[in-house]
Amino acid sequence: MIHIIIALVAFIISGCTHSPDLPQHNEVKCIGHRGDTSEQLENSPASFLAALNNNADGIEFDVRETADGTAIVMHDIDLSDVALSRPGKVCPIKTPINRLTFDEITNNCQLKNGEDIPKLETVLSTFQSTNLFLLIEFKTNPGNNTLDLFNIYYTQNPEKIISIISFNIDYNNAIETRDRFKTTTLLNREVYQPDFYEIFDGVDVLDIATVFIKRLQYEGKIISLYGINSLENTKEAFDLRAHYITTDNLQNCLAVKNET
C-alpha cells in the first residue's frame, strides 16, 4: 500500500521543476530516543554514552527549566518516573519541575541508576566535540540563558543541533526561539499548522500520512520521524528517506542503514 501512495504522489507532483534534496540511504540519521535505552535509563548520561559507543548518529532528549531558569534533561513534568531520593534526603518527586530550584533537585534527588540528573549545559559540553547530532525537544519555553548555551558550546558546529518545538511552547515564543536559535528547528506534530510551519525547517512526527510527508519533502522541509522501532517500520522510514529516525531500537535502525 505504501508503494502505491508514493507512486501516486510522484505522479501528482511530476510537474514540479525540481526534485527535493532528500538524503541518500546511508545519509539517514539513526537517533537514539532519550539515548540508548536498551540497557540504560532514559535521558541519563549513561544512555547518552551508550548511544555514542553503539555508533548512533545522534541522541534525542527533552529539556525543561527549573523555577530558577536552569535547563535540565527531563521528559516528564515531574521527577517521579526516573528519580529517587538521595541517601538521607527527601526528593520532591511529585512536585512539578518548574516549581523547584535546581539546588532543591540536585541536593535531594538522583536518577534511579544513581547518576546525577543532568543539566543541559553538561550534555552540551560533553558532546560538543563528538559527531553526535543532538535532537532537543523543548518541553517549556526556553529562556535566554538556555538559548545562550548553544552559542557557547556549538558556535563552531551549529548544524549538529536540531531543536524541536513541542506543544507546550506558545506560538510567540516558538517564533522568537526560531529567530534566536540559528540552527535547524522542527515543529512537533502537536503544534503543526499549515501556515505556521512555513517559517520552520520541518516537522517531527509520530504518525502521519505518507502523502503528507512527501508533500512536505517536495516543499524542501526536513522530516524527522519518531516511534520507529520495529524492523518493518524502520525499513519504511528509510524508503521514505526521512532525515532523522528517532528509535528505541538503534540496532534495527543501524542494521537497515548498513544494508547495501
Q: Decide if 155 is inside a domain.
A: yes
Q: Decide if 220 is inside a domain.
A: yes
One pLDDT digit (tens) per residue for the chain, 260 residues:
444 333 333 333 333 434 468 999 999 999 999 999 999 999 999 999 999 999 999 999 999 999 999 999 999 999 999 999 999 999 999 999 999 999 999 999 999 999 999 999 999 999 999 999 999 998 888 888 998 898 899 988 889 999 888 766 766 666 776 677 677 888 886 655 666 667 788 889 886 677 788 888 988 999 999 999 999 999 999 999 999 999 999 999 999 999 86
Please give the Cα distance from 74 to 65 (Å, whole number). Answer: 9
What is the H or E stretch that residue 16 is in? none
Strands 58-65 and 71-73, bridge-based pairing:
antiparallel
Give the pLDDT score at 16.
Answer: 42
Q: Domain holding 161: CATH number?
A: 3.20.20.190
Q: Decide if 106 is inside a domain.
A: no
Q: Decide if 243 is inside a domain.
A: yes
The candidate with the shortest Cα–Cα distance to 145, out of 121, 123, 169, 126, is 121
Q: Decide if 57 is inside a domain.
A: yes
- Pull the grid cell for residue 195: 501556515
Q: Decide if 148 is inside a domain.
A: yes
Q: Decide if 86 is inside a domain.
A: no
Which structural domain, as residue segments, surrounds residue 134? Answer: 2-14+23-76+120-257
Could you give the 3-state DSSP secondary structure of residue 150? helix
Q: How many domains does the chain have?
A: 1
Please give the Cα distance from 235 to 213 (Å, whole number). Answer: 16
Give the pLDDT score at 17.
Answer: 37
Give the pLDDT score at 260.
Answer: 62
Q: Decide if 181 is inside a domain.
A: yes
